[in-house]
Amino acid sequence: MRIIRTLVLATTVGMVATAAVAQQAPTPLVLATYYRCDIVRQARADTLYRQVIGPAVDRQIKAGNLTAWGFSSHRLGGVWRRLETWTAPSLEKLIAAQDAYDADITKTNPKAAAEFDAICGSHDDFIWNRVGGSAPNPGAAPAASAVSYSRYYGCSDEGVADMVMQTAYTEILNKHLAAGHISGWGWLTHNFGGPIRRVLNWSAPNILAALNAEEMISGDMANHGMWGTFSQACNTHSDYVWESEARSAP
């Protein structure tokens, strides 16, 4: 059984097309681990994360390596059953968090780590750059009921997609944020991992709110004059809805 999770990380950070984005300070990095789990036992994995793994990851926040983490369960979508996210200010801090976490969990509770790995026995790793979105608002929804809608894009022209998101679609997302239809949103660019190149996500207090927001947001995007340009740049996508099981304190 695999106890220590390892990654071979890319060192090249994806470039954002527009000069305005390029001039910003380094963007936060999000290590996202998408798990395939035994459906019969996946609730046990949630318990293990809350009781053992989460507190170990919290120690990496206290050490200054991470700024936030989250663990979510599948509500709607494809084969991934659980999503773990670690947010760090730099690649160096992210690597340090991994190394320290692995040493910590191996020393403090290897049996729990092994049990988790036995339940969620395979996964896909991605690193995302969070280059756009609303300011964090941890108080917008209780951790126990927070829902995230994630749209994973395949793109042939990433620079054009980023340009449209910044110049046209940011206004749409912020409109729905101001109206209270969503409690936050983000645009993430590929740094490391598989063929998915961009992620658009938004949060809501419950699944109905997240799905209602999807109808409104998708409609506004499709009816915008830049839709043809965007849909040619990113012409495939898959959608998931995630429910928060545990996350770091605000």
Where does 147-206 show beta strands of DSSP type E? 147-154, 184-192, 198-204
Residues facing 82 on adjacent strands:
35, 73
Identify the pLDDT of residue 27.
87
Looking up tokens 């200054």 gives: 64
In tens digits, the chain (250 residues) has pLDDT values of: 333 343 333 322 233 333 333 345 678 999 999 999 999 999 999 999 999 999 999 999 999 999 999 999 999 999 999 999 999 999 999 999 999 999 999 999 999 999 999 999 999 999 999 999 998 644 444 443 489 999 999 999 999 999 999 999 999 999 999 999 999 999 999 999 999 999 999 999 999 999 999 999 999 999 999 999 999 999 999 999 999 999 998 8
Task: For residues 11 and 135, give the distance between their C-alpha atoms in angstroms, rounded to a whole number.
Answer: 27
Question: Can you say whether the dihedral through the CA atoms of 105, 106, 112, 113 is positive or negative?
Answer: positive
Identify the pLDDT of residue 250.
81
Indicate left, alpha or beta for 249 from its phi (over 0: left) and psi (-120 to 50: alpha): beta
Question: Is 82 exposed, middle or buried (CB count within 10 Å of its CB: 0-12, 13-18, 19+)?
Answer: buried
Shortest CA distance to 71 belongs to which of 96, 56, 54? 54
**Structural domains for the chain:** 28-128 (3.30.70.100), 130-245 (3.30.70.100)
